[in-house]
Amino acid sequence: MSTSTDDLREQVRRHYAESARAVTEGSASSGCGSGSCCGGEREADKFGEALYDAEQRGELPEAATLASLGCGNPTAVADLREGETVLDLGSGGGIDVILSAKRVGPTGTAYGLDMTDEMLALAQLNAREAGITNVHFLKGVIERIPLPANSVDVVISNCVINLSTDKAAVLAEIARVLKPGGRIGISDIVAEDRLTPEERSERGSFVGCIAGALSKDEYEGGLEAAGFEQVSVEFTHEVADGMHGAIVKAVSTSEPEQKGLPVLQPAVEAGCC
- Domains contained in the chain, CATH given: 5-271 (3.40.50.150)
Residue 149 to residues 66, 125, 228, 265, Cα–Cα distance (Å): 33, 29, 15, 9
C-alpha 84/C-alpha 105 separation (Å) is 8
Spans in the chain with pLDDT lower than 50: 1, 27-37, 39-50, 53-55, 57, 63-64, 66-67, 256-258, 260-268, 271-273
The DSSP code for 41 is T
Q: How confident is the model at residue 84, as a pLDDT?
A: 98
- Say what the pTM is: 0.78
pLDDT digit string, tens, across residues 15-47? 665 765 666 666 444 344 333 345 444 444 444
β partners of residue 138: 113, 269
* pLDDT number for residue 120: 93
Q: What is the DSSP letter of 67?
A: T
